[in-house]
Amino acid sequence: IVLVMAAVIVHGGAWAIPDSLAGASTEGCEKAAVAAHGALLAGKSALDAVEVAVKCLEDDPAFDAGHGSVLNAIGEIEMDAIIVDGRNLKFGAVAAVQNISNPVSLARKVMEETDHVMLVGKGANQFAVEVGIPEVNPMELVNSVAKQDWENFKKYKTVVRDHFNHPEQSPPGESGPKQATAAAPVVGTHSHETVGTVAVDLKGNFAAATSTGGITLKRVGRVGDVPLVGSGAYCENSIGGVSCTGHGESIAKVVLAKRAFSLIEFQGLSAQSALEQSLEYMWRCVGGKGGMIMISKNGDIAKSFTTARMSWASIDQKGILESGLSEPRLNLTVTGT
Residues 54 and 32: beta-carbon distance below 8 Å: yes
- In sequence order, the 6+-apart residues with CB closer than 8 A to the CB of 242 are 198, 208, 233, 234, 235, 257, 260, 261, 275, 292, 293, 294
Q: Which of 137, 136, 135, 139 is nearest to 150 (CA)?
A: 139
* Catalytic residue (choose from 189, 210, 245, 307): 189
Largest separation between any pair of C-alpha atoms in the chain: 64
Single-letter residue type at 333:
T
Q: Where are the beta strands (DSSP E) in the chain?
A: 7-15, 79-85, 91-97, 118-120, 195-200, 206-212, 233-236, 240-246, 290-296, 301-305, 309-315, 321-324
Residues 311 and 11: beta-carbon distance below 8 Å: yes
Q: What are phi and psi of 76, to 5 degrees?
A: -115, 165
- List b or e across 95-126, with b for residues whose CB sees 16 or more CB atoms inside 10 angstroms: bbbbbbbbbbbbbbbbbeeeeeebbbeeebbe
Active site residue 189: yes
Please give the positions annotated as active site: 189
